[in-house]
Structure 1
Amino acid sequence: MKRRKVGNLLALAVLSYLSQAAMHPYELAKTLRSHGDERSIKFNHGSLYMVVQQLAKAGFVAEQEVNREGARPERTVYQITDAGRAELHDWLRELVGEPQHEYPAFVSALSMVSALTPNEVIPLLRARLDGLATQRAETSRQIEQSEAEGVPALFLIEEVYRLRLLDAEIAFVHEFLARINEWGPMWAGAHGVEFKPE
């Protein structure tokens, strides 16, 4: 994976939206929220302004103009540069074409789950299944609503991907629960407790 001058994925989103139109950071924040990007990229106003400044320092965006509406503070409108457009395309090609090693929190927890007893883990996994079912229903609802509004499927592909990941995680948790019944006595015994399957 290439080392980038600005490696925050929020920068990728900023470059993508600025490739469509010049905007000031407040407009960028509104656009990110209206397109549901908060579901994929963590940000707040402070982090967004910082990323825009980093992109400007790297030469990927440049000030187009500074304007003021009424008594509001001045707003700097940024546009993408040729270097920024090249960075956007190169970065996207890398992310789409090359699998990356990621560090999801649940995977980290699974690597240490034996520190808990199986009696504790079973209800936690059941609660996780409830949460996953809620997320899945919400994601499905968003896809259906967007399709009904005429949003092309291409612009919903990240939500479809999210849905498939939820399906895979739900299947995994069910499988893990079934395996705990096999491992339970040995696992509980290591903690000096009796296994109590549900």
Structure 2
Amino acid sequence: MAMNLVILGLLMEGDKHPYEMQQVMQERHMEHYIKLAKGSLYYAVEKLLKQEQIAVREVVKDQSRPDKTIYYITEKGKGTFQELLKKQFKAETNYYHPMYTALAFIHLGDSKMISRILKDRIEHTKFQLEMLERVYQFYGDGAPHGSVSIMKNAHELCKVELAWLEKLHSDALDGLFENNRKIKNEQRP
């Protein structure tokens, strides 16, 4: 669903060749905030073409390169775009952080290893936060308002993640996860 929405949205902005779509997706760093399967763009374009959501505007022939097919969005595609947009806004999902599984068993892990891993994650998250700030400084003022909203949300989520990781690291240094292990072991008959 996401790839179809992206393709139709890009064509709502103007006619494009799939390679141009790919370039715009990269320029906007969509891979950081939209889950897109690699290699699915051309497949989705073909599918949308068969469904008459998009159509061929022209085929540009060049002797030194393969033919370039330029697509546009049809009236049917514009309706589908609006429906997909509505579905995406209403979509709900459960969020599963990759660390949640490890946290369920943290009391069984080696505390020194866990402390080092958390410290590394903190440093990595600080780097991500810096990168997000640089991206915003570079694109922020000239980006569409929706993109600015994405950047601001990513920045805020990263700050929350950093605070959470720092608290976990502090708890690990204070031995709180080890204390949990001792309590569990003492309760056994």
Q: TM tier, shorter chain?
A: 0.7 to 0.9
Equivalent residue for 1:4? none
Distance 1:114 1:96, change over 3 A: farther
Q: Is this contact kept in 2: 1:117–1:188, CA < 8 A?
A: no
How many angstroms apart in 2 are the aligned matches of 1:12 and 1:108?
Answer: 32
Supply the RMSD in Å over aligned alpha carbons: 2.7
Say which of 154, 159, 184 aligns to 1:167.
159
Q: Is this contact kept in 1: 2:106–2:177, CA < 8 A?
A: no
Equivalent residue for 1:196? none
Say which of 123, 126, 132 aligns to 1:133.
126
Q: Is this contact kept in 1: 2:56–2:71, CA < 8 A?
A: yes
How many angstroms apart in 1 are the aligned matches of 2:129 and 2:111?
Answer: 26
Number of residue equivalences: 182
State the TM-score, normalized to the length of structure 2.
0.80
Q: Is this contact kept in 2: 1:132–1:170, CA < 8 A?
A: yes
Equivalent residue for 2:181? 187
Gaps of 5+ in 1: 1-6, 192-198
How many angstroms apart in 2 are the aligned matches of 1:43 and 1:162?
Answer: 21
Q: Is this contact kept in 2: 1:14–1:28, CA < 8 A?
A: yes
- Is 1:36 aligned to residue 32 of structure 2? no
Say which of 30, 39, 48 aligns to 1:55.
48
Distance 1:79 1:161, change over 3 A: same
Q: Is this contact kept in 2: 1:62–1:78, CA < 8 A?
A: yes
| Greater alpha carbon shift after TM alignment, 16-25 vs 169-178 | 169-178
Gaps of 5+ in 2: none
Q: Deviations over 1:90-130 (max 9, x none)?
A: 22223224432244434454455556333322111110010
How many angstroms apart in 2 are the aligned matches of 1:135 and 1:56?
Answer: 38
Distance 1:90 1:70, change over 3 A: same
Say which of 144, 163, 176 aligns to 2:168.
176
Could you tell me which amino acid in structure 1 is paired with residue 163 of structure 2?
A
How many angstroms apart in 1 are the aligned matches of 2:104 and 2:46?
Answer: 38
- Percent identity, aligned pairs only, is 21
How many angstroms apart in 2 are the aligned matches of 1:123 and 1:72?
Answer: 52
How many angstroms apart in 1 are the aligned matches of 2:87 and 2:64?
Answer: 44
How many angstroms apart in 2 are the aligned matches of 1:107 and 1:129?
Answer: 16
Could you tell me which amino acid in structure 2 is paired with residue 182 of structure 1?
L
Could you tell me which amino acid in structure 2 is paired with residue 142 of structure 1?
V
Equivalent residue for 1:77? 70
How many angstroms apart in 1 are the aligned matches of 2:75 and 2:57?
Answer: 14
How many angstroms apart in 2 are the aligned matches of 1:186 and 1:113?
Answer: 9
Distance 1:108 1:12, change over 3 A: farther
